[in-house]
Amino acid sequence: MPAYQRILLKLSGEALMGDDAFGINRATIVRIVDEIADVTRLGVQVAIVIGGGNIFRGVAGGSVGMDRATADYMGMLATVMNSLALADTMNKAGLVARVMSAIGIEQVVEPYVRPKALQYLEEGKVVVFAAGTGNPFFTTDTAAALRGAEIGAEVVLKATKVDGVYTADPNKDPSATRYTSISFDEAMVKNLQVMDATAFALCRDQKLPVRVFSIFKSGALRNVVMGADEGTLVHV
């Protein structure tokens, strides 16, 4: 039996790039969707928040000197683009995906409505939450924490390029070791930067655990859902 029945998967936009400089790598997004499909077959309800860094990176040079709120709204639109691409790939793979946006663009995707999102999850659909929180100055990490709490997710799964939280940067320090588990308070004291401070505080206050793992390791998502020792669990 899966260890979790309802999860919030947080994907960075960069996770979709593969080896490309920006944009979406087709082979990479298909592989990620295969991992998601695998856990849905276990009966796990899956909601997703995805960043927009891979899209926004392509226009980052032009954003220099731009008003922060304007740049953040551009980033929100980038997350909508990623969400549409991810949902399209999931639908083609046999899943049923629904994109819900925190900003109003009804001609493209439906607005985020919590009861509707819960209904979709209970029907076995994968729900992709786009446009962050709908507000500038908040990251998609915060959106993941917020939506995770709202839908009653049992855990936020932060999928990264690194297979957990380490005592130091493993790319710079070969002696760095991975934490199997760590408390929110200890991670904050050690400034491990698992998520941004707002998201981290929200998860801690809501007693919503966070597991950090590598989305690039085949089968890692399934291992996490089944309760295996994969990545790092951050808990109260």
**Residues contributing to the annotated binding site:** 10-13, 52-53, 57, 72, 133-140, 160, 166, 169
Distance CA 70, CA 213 (A): 32
Binding-site entries for UMP:
52, 72, 133-140
- Binding-site annotation: residue ranges for ATP: 10-13, 53, 57, 160, 166, 169
Kindly state the tokens that stand for 211.
Answer: 């597991």
